[in-house]
Amino acid sequence: DESLRLKALFEMATDGIITMNKYGVIENVNRAAGELFGYDPEELRGQKVNILMAEYDRTHHDEYLERYQRTNVPHIIGIGREVTGKCKDGREFPLRLAVSEVKLDGGILYTGMLHDLSSFKLAQKRVEDLN
């Protein structure tokens, strides 16, 4: 059945996938996203997405959402950004964030795709250190 296939796709994706509503409240988290941040995906449902961010963005993300919903000018949607994530244990790490917006009857849904850049950054630093 189609919805089971979609669920499998969501769960087996190697990048993290997080969906949230217009207030930044998390609705769904796949296994990879849970692992990235050291949470059980169930723990994250219903929490603000802000808890996954380092200090500055954590306190400003609500404003980012409000500004976008007011102006329709995107800074990440359709563009992507390298940002800093914060794990449950407090460790911070670099990641590539892509966001898209889905307008449904029930309101707006945002989907975030998160790709861990830790090992890429480490390799990049090793290359730089060679010079």
Beta carbons of 61 and 85 less than 8 angstroms apart: no
d(CA 5, CA 28): 16
Residue 34 makes contact with ligand HEM by CB under 6 A: no
Q: Which stretch binds ligand HEM (CB under 6 A): 4-12, 14-22, 40-48, 117-125?
A: 14-22
Residue for token digits 């000018």?
73
Does 29 contact ligand HEM by CB under 6 A? Answer: no
- Cα–Cα distance for residue pair 55/53, rounded to 1 Å: 6
Please tell me whether residue 116 binds ligand HEM under the rule CB under 6 A.
Answer: no
Contact 105, 121 (CB under 8 A): no
Q: CB of 5: closest distance to ligand HEM in angstroms?
A: 22
- Binding residues for ligand HEM, rule: CB under 6 A, are 18-20, 49, 52-53, 57, 61, 64-65, 68, 74-77, 83-85, 97, 99, 110-112
